[in-house]
Amino acid sequence: MAVLLTRKARVVVQGITGHQGTFHTRAMLDFGTKVVAGVTPGKAGSKVEGVPVFDGVREAIRRRKANASVIFVPAPYAKDAAIEAIEAGLKLIVVITERIPFHDCLDVIPYARSKGCAMIGPNCPGIITPGESKMGIMPSHIFRPGDVGVISRSGTLTYEIVNAMTQAGFGQSTCVGIGGDPIIGTNTVEALALFQRDRKTKRIVVVGEIGGTAEEEAAEFIAKEVSKPVVAYVAGRTAPPGKRMGHAGAIIQAGKGTAESKVRAFADAGVPVAEYPADVAKLLAAT
Amino acid sequence: MKFLEYKAKEIFARYDIPVPRGIVAGRPEDIADPPLPCIVKAQVLVGGRGKAGGIRPASNLEEARTVAGEILGMDIHGYRVRQVYLEERLDIEKELYLGLTIDRSAREPLLMASALGGVDIESVPREDIFMEHIPAMVGLQPYVLRALSGALGLPKDVIEQVADIVRKAYALFRKEDAELVEVNPLVVTREGRVVAGDAKLVVDDNAEYRHAEYAALDQDRTPLEEEAHDKGITFIQLNGDIGVIANGAGLTMATLDVLNLKGGKGGTFLDLGGTDDPEKVKQAFEILLKAQPSVILLNIFGGITKADTVALGVKQALESMGSRVPVVARIKGVNEDAARQILREIGTHPAETIEEATELAVKVRAGGA
């Protein structure tokens, strides 16, 4: 078992003919992901990396039995692509696209949830279950199969932390990059609930950052509902208030969303918080 | 993106939300025919104008010009006043509060209203604020307005106007890709008119592509940040003197945090993103050098980023700018050996980990390496 993504996933890549879509289709295939179809309107009949391309998601499902979608289409078209995938009946969609207006996500996310579809992202590196499958852009070689579930709002920072974990002998059950936007499909608490239920996951790492109250809510949830050991890291301890630190969601507003508040919330919930990214692996060793 | 009050009120008026009559001016002598008596209001992208002396009354043209002259050029919490807005003085009976924002946890818009407006909403007791989520999928339904009317306890003709304004404000919130629409105070005049006394509007930067006019807005950026923005570079100037450049927002923040733990202070937040295009790296470095850092700290953890082409961009930038600023570089990624070779040739200080790189940057700054 793992969360959300296993080797059973038959993945359709929406936006497969774009530069990113093509590049990461290759990387996903190399990792062992069953990429069974691509979708780019108007490009039906062509192939990308040997993967057949269709005009729409319904066709990809009918012809290739796709059951999950990873979306690379540009921001102005991402809402359309996501709703098409949800309407076609897919239950897992991973939205890699960054800079999607959040009002589009206010429409898409509740809709996905109402249809029982799990959406990851947007503005995220995707999801990877080492040894099984990857839907996204994470560098495969730093991951190893293992029992640590990883939840992160960030991309490269996660690679840094995962790399240190792997080197220290801590493999990952699944790593979920939930995304750096203010409005995301699967939030920290929801990902924690999945890992708590997953039998393969023995420990959990949460990589948070400034902005919003996801970490505070996660801490509260951990104290009540999570029996597995959790270790955290919070980025942005030195970030000034009022500045958006690269991610749309990473901003301290009206005194809310500070790293201090998040670190305190985790500490109060008994979750050790690493000072240095590399310390996450050390704290795991102590769990 | 934040709107100045008068710009926000232009948008309000477009949605038929009642706003006072007013004129904007950049120089006292440009003021010709203000609505009198008026209030002269500093136009700055920061709160607390009133307490800082940026909002003052005037009764006639001469006084309006004098007051405007005193407010223009003022420094309000670090923001220079370049424009004033002269607005008709309202005969205030009561001040309400109205706000529309997003609740990140609920993933829904949140409507807030209170009969206790005109003060900082944070200071209003929770039980005196009406709050209701508006699921974007279904929109604002009449029951919410009925509940709001009951909660505010206002006369019928007033509450009808308030409900109408809420409906229009919600339409604006959605159509203009707003992250905040705030009217504080929402004024009830002695004649029983309901008017937006102030207007705060913040819109989503990511939605700029569907609102061409937003690109022209004055933003809360330093000139160098503005230049970076125009080039599509994510760049923020900070208080310290060590120029930090990394890839990815989280990693850049973490690099600044670790630097701080090692006794250094970051002067820049520059997120290179996923690029390994030497030309883009060069552009980013040029911005960084213009911030005049004492040391540059480059931290790249690229899973799929080509380290050698990043290094090439660094080399080109340093050479073209004739820079003598020392560079500490930690690069992980594809072809990292070739990258190390290039970086060694141009005399950068190599490091293996974030800890090592940040320590080295602090040491180099102190002249110890």
Q: Outline which parts of chain A fall under CATH 3.40.50.261.
A: 139-285
- Contact assignment for A102 to B179 by CB distance below 8 Å: yes
Q: Which residue of A has its CA nearest to B122?
A: A254
What's the mean per-residue pLDDT of chain A? 96
- What mean pLDDT do residues B134-162 have? 95
Q: Which residues contact B166 (CB under 8 A, 6 or more apart)?
A: B98, B111, B113, B140, B145, B148
| Residues B308-357 pLDDT 10s | 999 999 999 888 888 889 999 999 888 888 999 999 999 999 999 999 99
Check residue B116 and report its DSSP letter: S
Fold for the domain defined by B223-365:
Rossmann fold (3.40.50)
pLDDT the model gives residue B368? 65
pLDDT band at B365 (very low <50, low <70, confident <90, very high): very high
What's the mean per-residue pLDDT of chain B? 94
Q: Outline which parts of chain A fall under CATH 3.40.50.720.
A: 10-120
Phi and psi at residue B132, to the nearest 5°: -150, 130
d(CA B190, CA A96): 54
Q: Outline which parts of chain B fall under CATH 3.30.1490.20.
A: 21-88
Among A238, A252, A276, the residue to mutate for chain B (most B Cβ within 10 A): A238
pLDDT band at B369 (very low <50, low <70, confident <90, very high): low
| Residues A23-75 pLDDT 10s | 999 999 999 999 999 999 999 999 999 999 999 999 999 999 999 999 999 99
> Is pLDDT above 80 for B259?
yes
Q: In a 10 Å sphere around its CB, with 0-12 CB exposed, 13-18 middle and 19+ buried, how is residue A143 labelled?
A: buried
The Cβ of residue B132 has, within 10 Å, a number of other Cβ atoms equal to: 18
* CATH code of the domain made up of B21-88: 3.30.1490.20
d(CA A287, CA A229): 6
- Does residue B37 have a cis peptide bond before it, meaning omega lies within 30 degrees of 0? yes
What DSSP line would sit under B75-96, residue for residue? EETTEE---EEEEEPP-EEEEE
Q: Which residue of B has its CA nearest to A217?
A: B105
Percentage of chain A with pLDDT > 90?
A: 97
Q: Which residue of B has its CA nearest to A23?
A: B304
pTM of the model: 0.95
CATH class of B92-214: alpha beta
Q: Outline which parts of chain B fall under CATH 3.30.470.20.
A: 92-214
Nearest by CB to residue A246, choosing from B102, B177, B271, is: B271
Percentage of chain A with pLDDT > 70?
A: 100
| Residues B160-204 pLDDT 10s | 999 999 999 999 999 999 999 999 999 999 999 999 999 999 999
Fold for the domain defined by A10-120:
Rossmann fold (3.40.50)
Nearest by CB to residue B104, choosing from A99, A182, A245, is: A182
Cα of first residue to Cα of last residue in chain A, in angstroms, is 22
Q: Contact at 8 Å (CB) between A69 and A56?
A: no
Residue B286 CA to chain centroid, in angstroms?
24
ipTM higher than the 0.85 cut: yes
Q: ∠ at Cα B182 (B179, B188), nearest 5°?
A: 160
Q: Return the bridge partners of A148, or none.
A: A172, A203
A179 CA to chain B: closest CA distance, Å?
11
pLDDT band at A287 (very low <50, low <70, confident <90, very high): confident
pLDDT the model gives residue A1? 63
Active site residue A19: no
Superfamily of domain A139-285: Succinyl-CoA synthetase domains (3.40.50.261)
| Residues B104-114 pLDDT 10s | 999 999 999 99
Residue type, A41: P
Q: Contact at 8 Å (CB) between B123 and B117?
A: no
A152 CA to chain B: closest CA distance, Å?
10
Residue type, B355: E
pLDDT the model gives residue B253? 97
Q: Outline which parts of chain B fall under CATH 3.40.50.261.
A: 223-365
